[in-house]
Amino acid sequence: MTAQQLVKLAVFEGKQIRKTIHNDEWWFAIIDVVEVLTESSLPKRYWSDLKKKLTSEGINEAYDKIVRLKMPAADGKKRDTDCANTEGMFRIIQSIPSPKAEPFKRWLAQVGYERIQEIENPELAQQRMKELYEQKGYPKDWIDKRLRGIAIRQNLTDEWQERGISSERDFSILTAEIAKATFGMTPSQHKNFKGLSRPQDNLRDHMTDLELIFTMLGEKVTTEISQTEKPGTFEENKKVAKRGGRVAGTARLETEKELGRSVVSKQNFLPKGLAEDTEKNA
């Protein structure tokens, strides 16, 4: 799994820290950690100055362990971001005077340990994700569908990689083809329809049961067609994605006829205050 495929938000004392899987371990956005520890309004400048300081002091160990990985920025676009693994972060933290350093080290060690556990036992990762959704107040039936959808999505991206698809842009294009054929709109249009304007809002976390079901259907059928036909070019993969999405789209239209209403819903799982503000601004 590449860093581009899995970027998550961790939370320390209410502050969000971007993290991603790279080489089977967690890597953290350094400026997010800097912001948490220093409460600086300019964490990028603080980190830039700290890098220069470490280099001038001949301390290159931490800098050598830094890699640049794609992370979502505040505007929703993914940009190269300085990241460090748990070991590298410990070294950087030592250079930042902060009363939060020790509790952050303990938090960091726990996050790293949980990743080791998850590699040895993948079911733990699913259980932790389930507990996270439960804490956010999602219904059990919805959580079961969401977790199943994650597994189906992973199978699809694995299949695309087998077919030579590797860039995030290509993944997005193929996903949009399935979505357009399934719902008649791209994921970005679907987000706008639901009033989801924040970059951190994951569309699938705001889908209804039926939207999740048809998303799963489109992606599962696409995977099955691809495994059978083994498309060799990007354009062939696009055609397969459209066909898989059309199967789900046809099923959606038939469902809408029976229900007498649209499956595509404005319902979302935004916190109550945010949801009300979204409706006012819609």
Same domain for 137 and 271, yes or no, is: yes
User: Phi and psi for 2 in degrees, rounded to 5?
Assistant: -90, 165
pLDDT digits (tens, 9 = 90+) for 52-66: 887 776 555 555 678
Which of 101, 120, 139 marks a domain boundary?
120
What is the rounded distance in angstroms from the CA atom of residue 212 to the CA atom of residue 261?
A: 17
Given its phi and psi angles, is residue 16 left (phi above 0), alpha (psi -120 to 50 degrees) or beta? Answer: beta
> For tokens 């970027």, what's the residue?
7
Cβ atoms of residues 197 and 206 within 8 Å = no
pLDDT digits (tens, 9 = 90+) for 44-93: 999 998 888 877 765 555 556 788 888 887 776 788 899 988 878 888 88
pLDDT digits (tens, 9 = 90+) for 168-213: 889 999 999 999 999 999 999 999 999 998 777 889 999 999 999 9
* pTM over 0.85, yes/no: no
Cβ atoms of residues 256 and 263 within 8 Å = yes
Domain count for the chain, please give it. 2
Q: What is the pLDDT of residue 215?
A: 98
Same domain for 189 and 80, yes or no, is: no
Same domain for 71 and 138, yes or no, is: no
Same domain for 237 and 216, yes or no, is: yes
DSSP state of 263: S
Distances, alpha carbon 80 to alpha carbons 1, 87, 118, 280, in Å: 18, 20, 26, 35
Give the dihedral sign, CA 64/67/68/72: negative
Same domain for 42 and 149, yes or no, is: no
Report the share of the chain in percent with pLDDT over 90: 43
- Structural domain including 55 reads 3-120
Write the CATH number for 14. Answer: 3.10.260
- How do 15-22 and 25-29 pair as beta strands? antiparallel
pLDDT digits (tens, 9 = 90+) for 218-246: 999 999 999 999 999 999 999 999 999 99
Cβ atoms of residues 30 and 92 within 8 Å = yes
Find the length of the chain. 282
| ∠ Cα 250 254 260 (to 5°) | 140
Q: What is the pLDDT of residue 58?
A: 59
* Nearest of 161, 184, 156 to residue 241 by alpha carbon: 156
Same domain for 221 and 161, yes or no, is: yes
